[in-house]
Amino acid sequence: MKYNYLGNTDIKVSKLGFGVARLPEKKVGKDYYLEKNIVRKMVETAVERGINYFDSGNIYCHGQSQRVVAEALKPYRDKVYLANKVMPKDLNKKGDLIKKITILLDETHQKYFDFFYFWGINRKDFDGIILKNDFLQEALDAKRKGLINHIGFSFHDAPSAMQYIIDIADIFETVICQYNLLDRTNEKMIEYASKKGLGVIIMSPLAGGTLLAPEKYKGESVTVEDAMKFVMDNPNVACTLTGINSQNELLQNIQIAEIEEPISKKRIQYLINIMDNMKKKSKINCTGCNYCQPCPQKINISNYFNLYMLADVYKLNKIALDSYNYCVDIEKEEDISKCVGCRQCVDRCTQHIDIPIQLEKVKKFFETLNRFYIYGKATEERQ
C-alpha cells in the first residue's frame, strides 16, 4: 500500500481509505442489520493490507456502521485514523457542536476522533450556521479538549464555494469532496486545496456505482481499475474513499491501490471522451457544476439529475431508486417535492436547464419506478 502525507499534517494516510456507507446489511422484517462478522473480517483485512484511514458517520447503514466499524477497529486503534462528522442541520446554537461530538464519541466508545468533519457543507450553511454561531471556534475548543485531533469539511456545492470556505477559514486541515471520471467539476479546486496545504480526500470515485455499470450500458470499456486509478493517481489527492460492500470488493480495491504504474495521460483522455459521450445521451444535460446553488429549499438539484441519468442512461434503476428514496425520506430538507418554483436556480444554470420543470419530471419518473418496485412489477434489474 502506498501512503501520502495528508496536506500539511505530519500524518501519512493510505492511498485507499475505508468508507463505511455501503457495508453489507441484511433486512429482517422492516429492520436492517449490519453483517457484523463480515464487517469485522473486512476491517481486519483492510488493516492487515495497510489501509489506515477509516471514514464514518452516524447515518450510514441505518445508523449502525459507525459503531460496528469502531468496535472492529478496537485491536488496531493506535495504528489507524478514524474520522467522524456532524451535519450543519444538527447544529442550532452555541454548544451544540461539542455536545454532538461527545454523543458520537459515546456511541462509538471512543476517547477521540483523529479527524472531525463539518459534514456536507455548502456556502449557505457555512455562512448561515457555522460562521454565524462561531462553530469554527467551537471545533477548535473540541480539539483543545482532546475530543478531536484534526478538523476538516466535506463539501457539496459549486467549486467557487470551496475556494471561499478555504480562504475564509484557516482552521481546516483536510477536505472531502466528490471527484470521478464522470464528475470532474472539483478538479481545479482539488489542486487549489492541495496547494493551500489541505489534505484532499476523495469520495465517490465510482460515481455512486455508475462506473460499475456493465460495459454494455457504459458503451465502451471503462473498468473499475480505470475509474479508481484516475482518481488515485491525481497528485493532489491524498486518499480515496470507496464505499465497500463486500470482502471481494475490498480485495479488488486493495489490488488496484497497489498497482504502482500510474495511469497514462493517453488512457485518461480516452476515458474522459467516453464519459463525455455517455453524458450526452442523458435527456437532462446537467454537468454537476452546482452553479444553480444555493436553492432556498436546499434541494440538491444536480444529485437528482444525476440519479435520473443513472436510471435513464445506465439502467441502474435500483441503485438510483434507492438513492432517490434515501434523499427524499432521510434527507428531508433536500426533498425534491419542496421545490416552490421560485426559479432562482434557472438564471444561474450554466446549461440553461429549466430546473423546476425537469425536477418535476424526475420526481414523476421515480414515483413511477417506486410503484413498479412496490407492486413487484419490475422486470429483472438490468445491471
The C-alpha cell that represents 306 in the structure block = 444525476
Diameter of the chain measured on Cα atoms:
56
The C-alpha cell that represents 80 in the structure block = 489507524
Closest contact distance (angstroms) between CB of 328 and ligand SF4 is: 14
Closest contact distance (angstroms) between CB of 304 and ligand SF4 is: 9
In the complex with ligand SF4, the residue whose CB is nearer, 100 or 123, is: 123
**In 3-state terms, what secondary structure has residue 17?**
strand
Closest contact distance (angstroms) between CB of 358 and ligand SF4 is: 8
In the complex with ligand SF4, the residue whose CB is nearer, 61 or 336, is: 336
Closest contact distance (angstroms) between CB of 183 and ligand SF4 is: 10
| Spatial separation of the C-alpha atoms in residues 19 and 382, rounded to whole Å | 26
In the complex with ligand SF4, the residue whose CB is nearer, 63 or 341, is: 341
Of 158, 138, 133, the closest CA to residue 148 belongs to 138
In the complex with ligand SF4, the residue whose CB is nearer, 47 or 353, is: 353
Closest contact distance (angstroms) between CB of 205 and ligand SF4 is: 20
| Spatial separation of the C-alpha atoms in residues 12 and 134, rounded to whole Å | 30
| Spatial separation of the C-alpha atoms in residues 160 and 131, rounded to whole Å | 17
In the complex with ligand SF4, the residue whose CB is nearer, 169 or 346, is: 346
Residue 69 φ/ψ, nearest 5 degrees: -70, -45
Closest contact distance (angstroms) between CB of 100 and ligand SF4 is: 28
**In 3-state terms, what secondary structure has residue 246?**
coil
Yes or no: say if 48 and 1 are a contact pair by the CB < 8 Å rule. no
Closest contact distance (angstroms) between CB of 297 and ligand SF4 is: 4
| DSSP one-letter code for 321 | H
| Spatial separation of the C-alpha atoms in residues 223 and 76, rounded to whole Å | 33
Cα 338-344-348 angle, rounded to 5 deg = 125
| Spatial separation of the C-alpha atoms in residues 369 and 383, rounded to whole Å | 16
In the complex with ligand SF4, the residue whose CB is nearer, 292 or 307, is: 292
In the complex with ligand SF4, the residue whose CB is nearer, 139 or 292, is: 292
In the complex with ligand SF4, the residue whose CB is nearer, 9 or 302, is: 302
Closest contact distance (angstroms) between CB of 252 and ligand SF4 is: 31
Q: Quickly tell me which residue has 441519468 as its cell.
A: 309
Closest contact distance (angstroms) between CB of 28 and ligand SF4 is: 38
In the complex with ligand SF4, the residue whose CB is nearer, 332 or 382, is: 332
The C-alpha cell that represents 349 in the structure block = 444554470
Residue 104 backbone class (left: φ over 0; alpha: ψ -120 to 50; beta: rest)? alpha
Closest contact distance (angstroms) between CB of 302 and ligand SF4 is: 4
In the complex with ligand SF4, the residue whose CB is nearer, 201 or 295, is: 295
| Spatial separation of the C-alpha atoms in residues 261 and 264, rounded to whole Å | 9
Q: Which residues would be at the binding site for ligand SF4 (CB under 6 A)?
A: 286-292, 295-297, 299, 301-302, 305, 339-345, 348-351, 353, 355-356, 359
Name the helix (H) or strand (E) containing 3: strand 3-5
- Amino acid letter, 274: I
List of residues 6+ apart from 382 with CB closer than 8 A:
217, 315, 317
List of residues 6+ apart from 167 with CB closer than 8 A:
none
Helix, strand, coil share of the chain (percent; to 5): 50, 15, 35
